[in-house]
Amino acid sequence: MASSLLCSITIRSLLVLLLHLSSLSNYLAAKHNQHGYHRHRSHNHSPTSNQRLHQAYIALQAWRRVIYSDPNNFTTNWVGPDVCSYKGIYCATATDDPKIRVVAGIDLNFADIAGFLPNELGLLSDLALIHLNSNRLCGIIPQSLTNLSLLYELDVSNNRFVGPFPSVVLSLPMLTYLDLRYNEFEGPLPPQLFQKKIDAIFINNNRFTSAVPAFLGGTSASVVVIANNNFKGCLPPSIANLADTLEELLLINTSLTGCLPPEVGYLYKLRVLDVSHNKIVGPIPYSLSGLAHLEQLNLAHNLMTGIVPQGVCILPNLANFTFSYNFFCEEEGICMNLTSKGIKYDDRRNCLPEKPLQRSQKECNDTLEHPVDCFQECCIASEGGGAFGRATPFAPALVPAATPLLSPFLAPSFP
């Protein structure tokens, strides 16, 4: 499901240079006029007389000087002032002046370039997209990128970037697609990330720590992937603030503890939920029975107990249900025979009587003799907005009272 979204985003990227830039022309004209960016600019198409292309030339030459390895010769033709002819550099008509061209996109995906990003990239103020997937770029994301007020897509995945979460991301007003996965970013995630109007957030496979931050509201994310990091604590009940947009939530191997909050059942548009390979305890919240659009549910490799509720097993669109390597002791109703519904499932290594490949009686007794009360369970969370979280019991979700609990009605393809 997430891979199909990535395909659509890739196709959409080809249209960004034309459609997105033109739709924002009024906004940007006002912004450039306000700051006096083009008061003395020539309208001649010549690269030497176009101040913005000259700025791009300065930026790209500075970048070329700090590229240490380019085995596929992507930057070999980065010579001379005609930057629109450079490989991987895409020009388009300026949003605020149809008589000139500007550098609107950089696409160096899979170039295998080694080097870093210089501060001069902040001169490329007309950029709408930056695609740098699968290179050997290192260092930090320069703060000068805050000048890229048009940036729509930022993909620096599968590189060697380091440092804390790049705070410059929070200052990009038009950012809609963010992909930081497969790098070496570390430290806590800022809660402000989930207040931005970003459609897709991929931050998996880094070294982020602390608690999963509170979802303060304001985001329009349809996909959130924060798997394979070093978080701790519980999934904040404020996840419900993403109810109006979230379709895919992947929290694989993030060291989550505590109970799965019932507020997950507020995510009525959810199609994929994967919280596998964590330390989640307690039962499956019955509120998940309201996720009518849910297609894939993965709870495997946790410490969950209790009954597998029939309400989840009869979800109309459920196609894959994995709850292996837990301590469930009973499957309710149709859950005992999901094959009859055409649902792919995996119930191995639980405590289900008369089912094959289950845990030993001793393993089951050791866990089931100490049941978890989720109403009393506390965990490390950051609902208060603190960077490092605090012990807090599960609390009511920070959502409008009118949001229904029950709707009436796998991971991205990594490079």
Q: Which amino acid is at 320?
A: N
The whole-number pLDDT of residue 107 equals 98
- In this prediction, residue 19 carries a pLDDT of 44
What was the pLDDT predicted at 232? 85
Q: How far apart are CA 224 and CA 228, in angstroms?
A: 13
Residue 355 carries which side chain, given as an amino acid letter? K
Domains and CATH numbers, the chain: 2-393 (3.80.10.10)
For the entire predicted model, the pTM comes to 0.82
When pLDDT is averaged across residues 374-401 and rounded to a whole number, the result is 45
Q: From edge to edge, which strands make up the β-sheet containing 296-298?
A: 89-93, 101-107, 129-131, 153-155, 177-179, 200-202, 223-225, 248-250, 272-274, 296-298, 320-322, 344-346
What is the residue-averaged pLDDT of the chain? 84
pLDDT tens for 209-240 read: 999 999 988 789 999 999 999 998 999 999 99
- Selection from 270, 255, 257, 264 nearest residue 286 by Cα: 264
Does 388 score more than 50 pLDDT? Answer: no
| Per-residue pLDDT at 135 exceeds 60 | yes
> Quick one: pLDDT at residue 155?
98
Whether residue 383 is predicted with pLDDT greater than 60 in this model: the reply is: no
pLDDT of residue 235: 95
In the chain, the percentage of residues whose pLDDT exceeds 90 is: 74
